[in-house]
Amino acid sequence: MDLTNAAALVTGGSSGIGRSIAQALIAAGARVAITVRHQGRLDRAAQEIGAHPIQADVSKEADAQRTMREVLEKLGGLDILVNNAGVGVFKPQVDTDLATFERTFAIDVTGAMLMAREAARHFIGRQRGNIVNIGSTASHRGAAGGTAYYGAKFALRGMTECWRAELRKHNIRVFLINPSEVITGFGAPAGSEPKANPTKLQPEDIARVLKAVLEMDDRGFTTELTVFATNPAD
């Protein structure tokens, strides 16, 4: 697709991978809206990168529906949804509390479903569109301490395959991009603040991958793409 003047929505777009994706799409000529739960961070990021800000919690159905209405009104349509919003927690199974587990699934799984559902309803009417889910290599194998986060990413991968099976007949492309570890602030709330490390993936690496797969001619698409650092050193 040609990204020039395309309308895109990036959830969780104020920092990290989401912000880099929004910036890459804007640089390519797209009109971009971003969602963030916290108004202050949203306003700062939107002003800095030139995106339209929408305060929303993707895990809430009313917010997802309001977001789509605003996108269609402000951008005049939607061509690309990037499901990037996500949280993570890493604890042994026996220490995983219900509230944290449910919150992880609410944002990483339910939120992605709600946003994709609203986008798909619009895309089906147009008989075209693109849904990009930002997954993780955590969806490929389990690991100790990963009950909530790894479980959520397994679920997202499964939903992606279901949506792809349903939506291809409507000329809707559904992508899954699985980064391995990326140096962002993602791990800080879970108590795992990463250190700067040039040997590991950076947010802009994932943004470049996403831009490349979108720009393939609409007659084809890359269903799933996994991104590893070449030779990371701790």
- Residues annotated catalytic, as ranges: 149
Indicate the length of the chain as a whole number.
234
Place of tokens 């003047």: 5
